[in-house]
């Protein structure tokens, strides 16, 4: 099992309070993750403050652009893989994004893992890209993945989709990795189909082992239908981590943090129909022994990578204390 850390590029106001991390804190968290033996560090992606964050906090949060941040981290690390957890593709121009990701892969000597998704907040999309306010974001995400592949793999590339258009683009250098690993993020059917048809991995969030097994089976069916080997498709997971000496302490720490605001903000999308107890059971919230048992269950369901783990904490130090404890008491159980 591989384990990765979500560095707080864009977590203030969502998973953490406002204000939260400085730029130095974000980078230092990644450096410590490498020292502690984590496989990857991931940064999430927001170009605008979502409405629920504006409503909940008096001041604006700092959101650090993930690719620029990861580029700086690449220069200060040697083996840590650099993940986007997650890049919101509908916010991004594909020609520029292809160039940025290929450049980062070159600078890091092939350490990039690109987690991508539709995004959980339509209001952010409509404010950043008002010209596409009526777009189907799932279709736009598919077109962007397809166009990224063309730009990375062809001498000259063009794309003529409903939303994405460019002509005769020569984009060099190419990524070091071929193919550069793309993980399709999300829990919906479209995410599974994109994983099976276009990506190297599936990256759901905050679901239990039963949903992992079910999703893997559906991906295998979609892959078989197009003649692709399902064994080529990795299954990863993003989960919330909150360790405590007792189950009650872990639960209280979670409820005393900003994470529950984040959970409620997705009640119409990702967490629709999921109550608090089910949410906690589908994440890594509990004692270290309980969390190890859940990781083992995930592994038996076919999971191979816990990436962009969201460590609970109302301060950077509290968050990093959770990160350190997880490294001491969970990582050694899964060499």
Q: CA 115, CA 225: separation in Å to the nearest integer?
A: 24
Average pLDDT over residues 127-150: 98
What's the pLDDT tens digit per position in 143-196?
Answer: 999 999 999 999 999 999 999 999 999 999 999 999 999 999 999 999 999 999
Q: What angle do CA 252, 256, 259 make, to 5 degrees?
A: 105
Which token pair is 222? 């979609």
SS3 61: coil
pLDDT digits (tens, 9 = 90+) for 227-249: 999 999 999 999 999 999 999 99
Q: 329, 293 in Cβ contact below 8 A? A: no
Quickly state the pLDDT bin for 273 (edges 50, 70, 90): low
What pLDDT, on a 0 to 100 scale, did the predictor assign at position 261? 82
Backbone angles phi, psi at 77, to 5 degrees: -130, 170
Give the residue with greater pLDDT, 195 vs 276.
195
Distance CA 66, CA 9 (A): 6
Give pLDDT tens digits for 53-86. Answer: 999 999 999 999 999 999 999 999 999 999 999 9
Q: How far apart are the first and last CA of the chain?
A: 7
User: Shortest CA distance to 285 belongs to which of 326, 236, 242, 223?
Assistant: 242
Any residues with CB less than 8 A from the CB of 303 and at least 6 apart, and which?
A: 1, 209, 212, 235, 236, 237
What average pLDDT does the chain have?
96
Q: pTM here? A: 0.95
Buried b (16+ CB within 10 A) or exposed e, 82-117: bbbbbbbbbbbebbebbbbbbebbebbeebbbbbbb
Is the alpha carbon torsion for 328, 333, 334, 335 positive or negative?
positive
Helix axes 66-76, 23-36, angle to 10 degrees: 50
- Separation of alpha carbons 63 and 179, rounded Å: 29
Q: Please give the CATH topology (third level) of the domain spanning 2-333.
A: TIM Barrel (3.20.20)
Residue 191 structure tokens: 């995410």
Residue 262 pLDDT > 90: no
Domain-wise residue ranges, the chain: 2-333
DSSP letter for 12, please. B
Could you tell me what percent of the chain has a pLDDT over 70?
Answer: 98
């Amino acid at each position: 099992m591989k384990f990765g850390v979500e560095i707080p590029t864009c977590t203030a106001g969502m998973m953490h309070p406002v204000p939260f991390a400085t730029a130095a804190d974000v980078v230092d968290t990644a450096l410590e993750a490498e020292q502690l033996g984590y496989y990857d560090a991931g940064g999430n992606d927001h170009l605008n403050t979502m409405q629920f964050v504006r409503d909940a906090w008096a001041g604006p949060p700092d959101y650090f652009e993930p690719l620029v941040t990861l580029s700086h981290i690449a220069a200060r690390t040697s083996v840590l893989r650099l993940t986007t957890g997650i890049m919101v593709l509908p916010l991004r121009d594909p020609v520029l994004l292809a160039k940025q990701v290929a450049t980062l892969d070159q600078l890091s000597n092939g350490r990039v893992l690109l987690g991508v998704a539709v995004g959980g907040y339509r209001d952010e999309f409509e404010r950043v890209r008002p010209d596409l306010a009526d777009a189907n974001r799932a279709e736009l995400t598919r077109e962007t993945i397809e166009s990224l592949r063309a730009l990375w793999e062809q001498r000259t590339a063009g794309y003529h989709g409903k939303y994405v258009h460019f002509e005769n683009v020569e984009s060099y250098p190419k990524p070091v990795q071929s193919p550069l690993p793309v993980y399709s993020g999300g829990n919906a059917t479209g995410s599974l189909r994109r994983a099976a048809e276009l990506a190297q991995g599936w990256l759901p969030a905050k679901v239990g082992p039963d949903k992992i097994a079910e999703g893997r089976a559906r991906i295998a069916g979609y892959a078989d239908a197009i003649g692709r080997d399902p064994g080529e498709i990795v299954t990863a997971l993003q989960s919330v981590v909150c360790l405590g000496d007792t189950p009650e302490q872990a639960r209280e720490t979670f409820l005393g943090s900003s994470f529950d605001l984040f959970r409620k903000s997705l009640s119409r999308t990702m967490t629709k129909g999921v109550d608090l107890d089910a949410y906690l059971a589908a994440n890594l919230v509990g004692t270290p022994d309980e969390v190890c048992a859940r990781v083992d269950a995930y592994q038996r369901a076919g999971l191979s990578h816990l990436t962009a783990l969201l460590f609970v904490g109302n301060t950077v130090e509290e968050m990093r204390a959770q990160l350190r404890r997880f490294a001491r008491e969970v990582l050694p159980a899964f060499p």
